[in-house]
Amino acid sequence: MENPTIFKAYRGSFLDFVADPFFVPELDSIRYIPDGLLIVENGKIKEFGSYEHLQPEYPDLEFITYSNKLIVPGFVDLHVHYPQTEMIASDSNQLLDWLDKYTFLTESKFKNLDYSKQIAEFFIDELLKNGTTTAVVLAAVFRESVEAFFEAANQRNLRMIAGKVMMDRHAPEYLLDTAQSSYEDSQKLIEKWHHKNRLLYAVTPRFAITSTPEQLHLAGKLLQEYPDVYLHTHLSENLNEIKFVAELFPDSLDYLQVYEQFGLVGNQSIFAHGIHLSDSEFQRLSETQAAIAFCPTSNLFLGSGLFKLHQAKSKEYPISVALATDVGGGTSFSLLQTASEAYKVTHLQGQNLSGLQALFLATLGGAKALKLDDKIGNFDICKEADFVVLNPQATPLLTLRTQGKIPAQTREEIADLIFALIILGDDRAVAATYILGEQAYIRNA
Ligand code: GUN
Ligand code: FE
């Protein structure tokens, strides 16, 4: 028997991107419909346009109306550690000390399946509460931690990418796998979860320091055997890290070459941070169409440095960049707050990042970095209906700042509204989150 067709429809002000605002005039990159209608059929977008034009075609349609709100595509978090949820905001020196002092011990708890399930649920609740509908997630080294995460994400029909951390050296014994066991565990997880409903797998060596050449070689082998899985790791985040990598891999000319040597750099590769990349590394990332996860709250919190967003978005060697929280190195699950810090990071370098550019990096930019822009990222017909209802009057201060501008009448007004939402907004500005057209989170008034 065929499943019955389920229709859902939503009326409100919609904003999404149809082009990259770093490369076209930004007001031309958006699609803003002050009074729009979104019709969802079995979780996918069937129709999208102005209410005035579409409604007559569906005279009997029932719809939910969001007044004085702004509906945008679900946010994408391009790099986040779910086992680090409980250690967010832990004070320490920079990256390597922070890993030693808190991270490894915390991640050791994720050998336990029940504990992993509990935190996976908490983590997903937190994502949805912040409007994040897709994330690229590191689990821990233990297979159980990945099982728990995928199980929880699958139950909620989420489009998620995750993987088992591979690490076979330079970490406490209790957290190490071996090259062979990491290969076999990853293989089993890929077979079980990759393309199960909306889930996808990322081969996830933690970073060059914690993997032997043999393990990186086997990570490359996995990518060859399963050509459409992702590669997800850290790259060039911290100066002491880079120094140590150079000692461990003396034959590599730079950090990126370590990964290149093992066949880990391609158009499905996601590298977190990339703070201290050379011009040559930027160029090679551009040529291979790999993506960088820009994690401003983490980079500021851990004192890693300022990501050169404008070099990454150069016309000559453009790189696919999207925003990421990097919790627990990052300090917030909110992509709005993350965008706000991204703005400040560019300002410290004498550059500017507009509100619309930042919102692009949290939506269509994330979908493009994942090469999933045929499935998510905006309101194009046939895409999966994951979206967020933002409330520009979520707080008294936001109300004061945005009064009289909702719904925005012009593109300039919408750009200003988005900027204010990014700088002042957080989870309170997320009124509801929808997954495949179904309400997955609603904020209590
Ligand atoms: N590099 C290797 N592991 C980590 C981690 O857990 N967090 C961050 N921010 N960087 C890393
Ligand atoms: Fe990280």
Q: Does residue 238's CB lie within 6 angstroms of at least one atom of ligand 1?
A: no
Please give the pLDDT value at position 221. Answer: 98
Please give the pLDDT value at position 3. Answer: 76
Q: Is 240 a residue whose pLDDT tops 70?
A: yes
* Distance of CA 110 from the midpoint of ligand 2 (Å): 17
> Rounded to an integer, what distance in angstroms lies between the CA atom of residue 318 and that of residue 310?
9
- Note every long-range contact of 222-229, with CB atoms under 8 Å and residues 24 or more positions apart, other chains counting: 222/183, 222/186, 222/187, 222/190, 223/263, 223/264, 223/266, 223/268, 224/263, 225/187, 226/190, 226/194, 226/201, 228/194, 228/268, 229/190, 229/194, 229/200, 229/201, 229/202, 229/203, 229/268
Please state, as a whole number, how many other Cβ atoms lie within 10 Å of the Cβ of residue 42: 14
* Distance of CA 185 from the midpoint of ligand 1 (Å): 21
DSSP string, 304-341: -----HHHHT-SSS--EEEE---TTTSS-S-HHHHHHH
* Distance of CA 25 from the midpoint of ligand 2 (Å): 32
- Note every long-range contact of 225-229, with CB atoms under 8 Å and residues 24 or more positions apart, other chains counting: 225/187, 226/190, 226/194, 226/201, 228/194, 228/268, 229/190, 229/194, 229/200, 229/201, 229/202, 229/203, 229/268
Instruction: Tell me the pLDDT band of 404, cut-offs 50, 70 and 90.
Output: confident
Please give the pLDDT value at position 92. Answer: 86
Ion ligand 2: protein residues whose beta carbon lies under 5 Å: 272, 326
DSSP string, 45-66: EEEEEEHHHHGGG-TT---EE-
For ligand 1, atom 7, the nearest C-alpha belongs to: 329
Q: Among candidates 441, 377, 440, 382, which has minimal Cα distance to 42?
A: 382
> Rounded to an integer, what distance in angstroms lies between the CA atom of residue 69 and that of residue 390?
6
Ligand 1: residue of 79, 82, 95, 169 to mutate (most ligand atoms within 8 A of CB) is: 95
> Rounded to an integer, what distance in angstroms lies between the CA atom of residue 422 and that of residue 118?
30
* Ligand 1 atom showing the smallest separation from residue 138 Cα: 6
Q: Does residue 107's CB lie within 6 angstroms of at least one atom of ligand 1?
A: no
Q: Position 139: which residue type? A: A
* Distance of CA 329 from the midpoint of ligand 2 (Å): 7
Q: Does residue 95's CB lie within 6 angstroms of at least one atom of ligand 1?
A: yes
Q: pTM of the entire structure?
A: 0.98
For ligand 1, atom 8, the nearest C-alpha belongs to: 329
Tens digits of residue pLDDT in 35-76: 999 999 999 999 999 999 999 999 999 999 999 999 999 999
Instruction: Tell me the pLDDT band of 150, cut-offs 50, 70 and 90.
Output: very high
Please give the pLDDT value at position 2. Answer: 67
For ligand 1, atom 11, the nearest C-alpha belongs to: 234
DSSP string, 345-397: HHHTTT----HHHHHHHHTHHHHHHTT-TTTSSS--TTSB--EEEE-TTSSHH
Please give the pLDDT value at position 405. Answer: 87
Instruction: Calculate Rg over the CA atoms of the chain.
Output: 21
What's the rounded mean pLDDT across residues 111-136?
Answer: 98
**Which ligand ends up closest to the CA of 96?**
1
> Rounded to an integer, what distance in angstroms lies between the CA atom of residue 169 and that of residue 182?
12
DSSP 94: S
**Which ligand ends up closest to the CA of 326?**
2
For ligand 1, atom 3, the nearest C-alpha belongs to: 206
DSSP strand pairing (165-166 vs 387-390) = unpaired
Q: How many CA atoms lie within 13 A of 356 on its CB side?
A: 24
**Which ligand ends up closest to the CA of 79?**
2
Average pLDDT, the chain: 97
What's the rounded mean pLDDT across residues 417-444?
Answer: 98
Look up residue 336 and give its two tokens: 């709005």
**Which ligand ends up closest to the CA of 165?**
1
Ligand 1: residue of 100, 209, 237 to mutate (most ligand atoms within 8 A of CB) is: 237
